[in-house]
Structure 1
Amino acid sequence: MSKPDFSLETDLLQQGYLRIAGIDEVGRGPLAGPVTAAAVVLDTGAIPDGLNDSKKLTAKRRAALETALAGSAQCAVAHASVQEIDRLNILRASHLAMERAVAALDPAPDFLLIDGNMIPAGLRIPASAVVKGDARSLSIAAASVMAKCARDRVMVDLAQQHPGYGWETNMGYPSKSHKSALRDLGVTPHHRRSFRPVHNILYQDNSTTS
């Protein structure tokens, strides 16, 4: 199984780009919580061993890599809120989180490697979209780790405020227990009302009370 490497970044460095940021997001699929993006500029002399797509790493390994990256790379994390997801749609909100993460990097990068097949419209820096980028580029893999760790902490915190939905383990994704709790306990302010399972419960509740 292939792992991400630094070849895309090396090609760009050879073209004269100096500060190449990997960009990734997590949290498009959950029924609750924000969507989170990270932007990471790796130090070519201090790339942590074992970097990979965050989905292929254990929570313990992600936490260790997050600590290593925070100490060696330039990292920024940003979110788009549930309200923004419902107002804009999840794709645009994901792009907004990416734009915010890039804007938080100081000094600014001069090239972006973005996971996926689209470049957010609000970015004004040269960029390439990289399909399955978190499995191809170490910079994007690093961003996936930082975004995943940051969003998981948000969901664990929200789970303490709203017990019963299992967010500390399902991270807001539509697990069987989460959907059951949604029906039994109702919709919280942190649920995405534009997502069908949440929308349907709200609509059914309104239908029964009207």
Structure 2
Amino acid sequence: MAYIKKKSERKFKITVCNGYKVNGQKRMKAQTITVPSSVPKRGIQQYVMAEAERIEKKFKYGVEESDQTHFEQYAENWLKRQQPFFKATTYAGYKRNLDIVYPLIGGIPLAKLLPMTLEEMCEELRKRPGRGGNCIKETTVEKYLETVSSVLEDAKKNDIIPFNPAHRVRKKHFEKEAQHIPQKYEMGKLMRA
């Protein structure tokens, strides 16, 4: 939590705490901000609170995140924060999926990622070659979308975006492949062999 000290009508000192040092002292960082004259008097408090939140995020996570932060930038930071909670294989899977979607949506600011943009991403992914030279399966496309959704859900939870656009993407209906179940006589042949 940030501590705010008023120095003058438009000058505030914001102090942020991020855990403790080995000797038990708090890790503190302070920054003095000046509210621009374009902000009306009644909006000063809101401006200062927003700046305090921005400074706190920058200090804690090492990156300044806003709705103008590009998807790739935010996703990389999200991966770093999640790494202690994931198994190595889960982490590698998320990293691999994100590396594939970055060329399609990585440079887009979070606020501009719309369901339509993600649907276009899915269409591009469907054209990718899969195993055997065929296009990738729809379940694989859904895995990429789920990875993107996990990142966007975190941005929503942190109040960077108002909703998760991945939840509004229409999923393509696909026929499941019929599984071949051996007949009784085929099982008999197998057992005799």
Verify same fold: TM over 0.5.
Answer: no
Pair member with larger Rg: 2
TM-score by length of 1: 0.29
TM-score by length of 2: 0.31
Higher relative contact order (CA 8 A, sep 6+): 1
Higher share of residues assigned helix: 2
